[in-house]
Structure 1
């Protein structure tokens, strides 16, 4: 066997090992020249070229080019390089093909390749959207003196239309005759399609007329393109006329024509018009109309589902199932997606069961539809079950499956579960995309888990997710929420020069988190970046700094929107600077930004603070003229303005207006009204508002606590007492109720039995009660001679204190969540000051024996210790920090305790403290 055939065979044999094949080829080239050397290279060159290109070994291909130039015969070098370029272009490597072609043209400027090579390169670059390379190839073709063919022009017109350069495409189209090329039907069709994509259908129609005048008969493709575009733009009558014109030109509208019309009409929401065409296709086939195919049915099914026409969709689906071959996987997916969007999950489940029974295996897209629907409805455990089901069916979850489930957990604040999903995702070989990572990052900032957000940011950077502007904006928003506005401003400014690397300035914990090699041009601040910071500054009252950020934004050619202006309007109205506010509004209108609902709400708030009620009515009229309906916030601001402006009697009419307009009042609405009427002394009308509020908002604790406290302040004791009893019966959290004040008032008025009844009712309902509430009642019972009752109440008090000690112990050992009603504990009790006079009176009671010694001295000591924070206890608390055991510290001050409480009480108190010192949770 000759050496040439031997080398060819060796290369073929090692084509699966491209590196070894390349070494063999280089060895042959490096061998001493011989008569068989040139034929050997010529025969092996195409083989090794294909091996290297198939393996994408670009550095070796560059080396091969150098070897061709140095080792091949001079006359064969251009053709060898052209062959390499063609091979690269056909193999989907246009960048390398153009690079080698440019080298070829520089080396052999007077020996241009044929036009077919240019066409091949242009087509390859078009597939990769390499517009600059396409235009360079055309210019080089002209320089080389080659006349582009019609095919070449068509390719160039196509790429110019794809990038939106329609005027350039039209100019090139008109130059074709000058270059010796006559436009054909494809030239016209490409340009018509370009005009239609740009919603310039009118110019497309003009081109159709020009096409006919040039003697070129339009084909179905040109007509279908124009008909579809007219339908998308809502010009259905013109589309019908074009169909008739199409028939007049001897062309029969085909299934593509009708499907184009139906698709465009459904996309535009004109499903009834599409349905009419579909019905004609079903019934008028004798007139030559094409019979609907699977695509037609699916288009109509999708249109019905999109518009919520569920009965029509179900009927059509049943028809498709009867015909058998029409109901395929895509059809089931369309039905499924429609039902999920409707929220009809049970029927969606039946569709999946029906698919399986019909032998149609659900795809990954099918399962993802269901998972997405379940997550959006908060049914996360069901979504997890569906994922397990798909895995058991042999369908592996993809990035979308995992990402959807992770985002579902994030939206519910279940960050641990979301992270578990992401870990499972990466173990299975899927990796979260930027959107998923950013969603998780946003959720962590929102939950206040900043350290975890920092770790995620670091992982995103390490795994090369390419931190983008969205990522930076999430961090900026998180910093603004934390009040770190200066740091947020630094990042925005740094992004202009450093891109996402500006995140490295977040502090020591963020140093090195971001790779400086990231492309900063892809990560510049945008409108959201500035809007976030400006809003934060305005809310913090730093309006002047917000103005500077606004000026910087404008200098960077970022146009403001209504949201940014609203931030300034709100801040200035809040400060009462109405003149500055209206200057902002004037500039807002100059920039073409419309006033929004938020704008008017802020203005109403600002005018109300200036008591300019008449101007508020004018704003409401302006809102009506502009078609901006007020919301509950608008009415709340107005009602507040009326109440604060002394026009409280006008407020109920606004409440009636709200209900008439379908804007339902909320708790804030009624709190404003109740507080205002109570302040005016009209408790009857306040209670009337309260009753209305209960009917509209339901029995809410804030409504009860507000009216109760206002009634107490207004000396409406009986009404307050009844309301408080009702609150106890409803098991409200009584933390905002001034219950101590009610008990003191009842005791002062001599209504000891009422006060005792309230205490016992609270105890029976499971409430933890402030021990200070017991003392006036026990004193009152004792003074009335009800010693037994007083003792029983004291015992109940001590049971509460004892239960709290046990609960504290259990909470320390098993982390049990405390009872929401048990609000008073040792920490809150000992840090309260109930007044030195009460302390003095209590100490005297203890010294006398407090009921002639019927209560053990330990109980008396605990009682004193529990409910008072007198100057003595302030001194004690200052002696040690909260983490120390109280007994060890107080032991050193036992002399002082004896002096203040007496030896017996001090001894009992120290014994109790010794026992309590076991609980490190006890703190002062």
Structure 2
């Protein structure tokens, strides 16, 4: 049988099989016993692992050439031996796992196993090395550092689920407790991966691990939960955490929760949270008051929001900013109190706070909604005088105001002005203009804008933009052109909604093309677009007027699984199907 040293040398040699084996390297007798045992593991040649083991004994070729012939190479240090053992472990785990049992005779240390883990080229390889070394047959007990290292690698590769499984093994099977920094990293990683419940569970166990995670991890998780509409879960978690003294909330913590409860209209709960801030050594800042003022104004309590603004001005401790004033102005504009909104605006300017684009947009939109286009234009002119740049919302608000007042040509003039400011209309700007053109039966211009919209790759078309064009064409009797618009919207990836189908069904009925109307009704149901009572009743009326009572039962059977209020069809219609129902 070939000696182990000869096998290692033969693996590194490029000579033919008939050549005599090279003698063992002279340094073998001087090597540590564990590294010597490493060379005794049989590994087939000429594999990379065998060459690796040969060079670990003889040294790299470059170093061998530099040694004088009469001198012996120095004995490798313990750290060097561990490194080469680590390389051998990693190579065997990835290339020749069936040879791993041979490593038991050298009893690899957790340090070598940890070093082998670092040599893995990717997360999958690292997990394979970790599993191979710390499970049977080697069953090397991993260090806490090794466990954390593989968890970090998995998290950074987007494999948070695998990382959580290893974390459970680390804490339950091996009995390691994470420190605050590592737990914070794992929580943040899971939060970014939308594993929000897992993040909440980890934070709830922080006290069991004996570590105190910084408020940042808690705040990030609560913000993500609120962003997904789970405000009530956030309030419950926050109250439990502060009651159990799991962490010390900061101002940002309270701001996140206050913003969440204000978003769902629970302003009273927000006020209670503001009162509790002092218990934890926190004081409301400008952001806190801005959230509170905005929440009050959104729930039609503008006067209370204005009173908070006045109190901030009086106290002088936490001064309001442009966001605070703009929130109150927006509240008054939505309530139709433009005089009060303008008074707050003047107070804002007098306080030395410059309005921004959002402030002017709110005022322009408010005046446009009440039909005061003169004041809206005056605000716009003041905006340009103060060199405050308008944006697409500014022009869309002006266009909407003109369209509401029936001044479509002025709206089109503003549309043209947008190009001079190098501002492109968005989907809502297109919708406002197209809808107004259709109301005035200017279908050709509406179709022209619709074609321009279809050329914009940055805008995802919506059915509410196409429906007015389809409707005006059907009312003009151009049902085939309307159907072409419907096909065009489908080609753009825009699915027709129930209004699209209802318009086409009634349009084809009015042209006495009942069979095609029935086809659209079938298509509507098959597309999963549930017809409501209005669609069903209108279609039944058309069928009865066309003298097709036999189709009514068929239509009602088709709609029975989709129409939300089929029962609302008048009973005389069901009982006497020969009676025509006027449209």
Q: TM-score scaled to structure 2, two decimals?
A: 0.64
Instruction: Name the stretch that deviates more: 222-231 or 26-35.
Output: 26-35
* Structure 1 contact 199–229 (Cα < 8 Å) conserved: yes
- Residues 111 and 230 (structure 1 numbering): CA distance in 2 closer, same or farther, change over 3 Å? same
- Residues 424 and 256 (structure 1 numbering): CA distance in 2 closer, same or farther, change over 3 Å? same
Could you say which residue in structure 1 is the equivalent of 2:147?
78
- Give the alignment of 1:586-625 within 5 angstroms: none
- Give the alignment of 1:427-506 within 5 angstroms: 430-433=492-495, 436-446=496-506, 447=508, 448=514, 449-450=516-517, 452-453=519-520, 456-457=523-524, 461=527, 467=528, 470=530, 495=561
* Structure 2 contact 447–469 (Cα < 8 Å) conserved: no
Deviation at 1:223, TM superposition (A): 1.2
* Structure 1 contact 445–478 (Cα < 8 Å) conserved: no
Could you say which residue in structure 2 is the equivalent of 1:338?
401
The superposition leaves residues 282-335 of structure 1 with CA deviations (integer Å, 9 ceiling, x where unpaired) of: 3x2xxx441212221122112211222211001112222334443344322221
Work out which of the residue numbers 569, 574, 580 in structure 2 matches 1:535.
Answer: 569
- Residues 357 and 224 (structure 1 numbering): CA distance in 2 closer, same or farther, change over 3 Å? closer
Deviation at 1:231, TM superposition (A): 2.8
- Residues 336 and 31 (structure 1 numbering): CA distance in 2 closer, same or farther, change over 3 Å? farther
**Matching of residue 272 in structure 1 with residue 339 in structure 2:** yes
Deviation at 1:74, TM superposition (A): 5.7
* Structure 1 contact 177–183 (Cα < 8 Å) conserved: no
Could you say which residue in structure 1 is the equivalent of 2:461?
400
The superposition leaves residues 162-217 of structure 1 with CA deviations (integer Å, 9 ceiling, x where unpaired) of: 64554872574364253353332223223322332233323322332332465422
Q: TM-score scaled to structure 1, two decimals?
A: 0.43
Deviation at 1:383, TM superposition (A): 1.4
Could you say which residue in structure 2 is the equivalent of 1:229?
295
Could you say which residue in structure 2 is the equivalent of 1:409?
470
- Give the alignment of 1:555-594 within 5 angstroms: none
- Residues 126 and 258 (structure 1 numbering): CA distance in 2 closer, same or farther, change over 3 Å? farther
- Residues 421 and 67 (structure 1 numbering): CA distance in 2 closer, same or farther, change over 3 Å? farther
Q: Between Structure 1 and Structure 2, whose CA radius of gyration is higher?
A: 1
SS of 1:253's partner is coil
Deviation at 1:139, TM superposition (A): 4.8
* Structure 1 contact 227–242 (Cα < 8 Å) conserved: yes
C-alpha distance in 2 between matches for 1:168 and 1:390: 41
Deviation at 1:31, TM superposition (A): 4.4
**Matching of residue 261 in structure 1 with residue 328 in structure 2:** yes
C-alpha distance in 2 between matches for 1:168 and 1:362: 38
Work out which of the residue numbers 305, 320, 325 in structure 2 matches 1:239.
Answer: 305
Q: CA RMSD in A?
A: 4.5
* Structure 2 contact 348–354 (Cα < 8 Å) conserved: yes
Could you say which residue in structure 2 is the equivalent of 1:421?
485
Deviation at 1:219, TM superposition (A): 0.6
* Structure 1 contact 231–261 (Cα < 8 Å) conserved: yes
* Structure 1 contact 438–474 (Cα < 8 Å) conserved: no
Could you say which residue in structure 1 is the equivalent of 2:31?
none
Deviation at 1:404, TM superposition (A): 1.9
Could you say which residue in structure 2 is the equivalent of 1:764?
none
Deviation at 1:221, TM superposition (A): 0.9
Q: How many residues align?
A: 455
C-alpha distance in 1 between matches for 2:415 and 2:94: 64
C-alpha distance in 1 between matches for 2:92 and 2:494: 46
- Give the alignment of 1:35-434 within 5 angstroms: 42-43=117-118, 45=120, 48-49=122-123, 65=127, 68-70=130-132, 75=142, 78-88=147-157, 97=160, 99-108=161-170, 109=172, 110-111=175-176, 113-116=178-181, 119-120=184-185, 122-123=187-188, 132-139=197-204, 147-155=212-220, 157-158=222-223, 163=229, 166=232, 169=235, 172-173=238-239, 175-176=241-242, 178-212=244-278, 214-247=280-313, 248=315, 250-282=317-349, 284=350, 288-362=351-425, 366-388=429-451, 395-396=456-457, 398-400=459-461, 404-405=465-466, 407-410=468-471, 412-413=473-474, 414-425=478-489, 430-433=492-495
* Structure 1 contact 328–360 (Cα < 8 Å) conserved: yes
* Structure 1 contact 476–532 (Cα < 8 Å) conserved: yes
Unaligned runs of 5+ in 2: 1-47, 50-89, 104-111, 135-139, 509-513, 544-548
SS of 1:199's partner is coil
C-alpha distance in 2 between matches for 1:180 and 1:334: 48
C-alpha distance in 2 between matches for 1:492 and 1:134: 45
C-alpha distance in 2 between matches for 1:155 and 1:397: 31
Unaligned runs of 5+ in 1: 5-24, 50-60, 90-95, 462-466, 496-524, 543-573, 575-924
C-alpha distance in 2 between matches for 1:139 and 1:242: 36
* Structure 2 contact 297–331 (Cα < 8 Å) conserved: yes
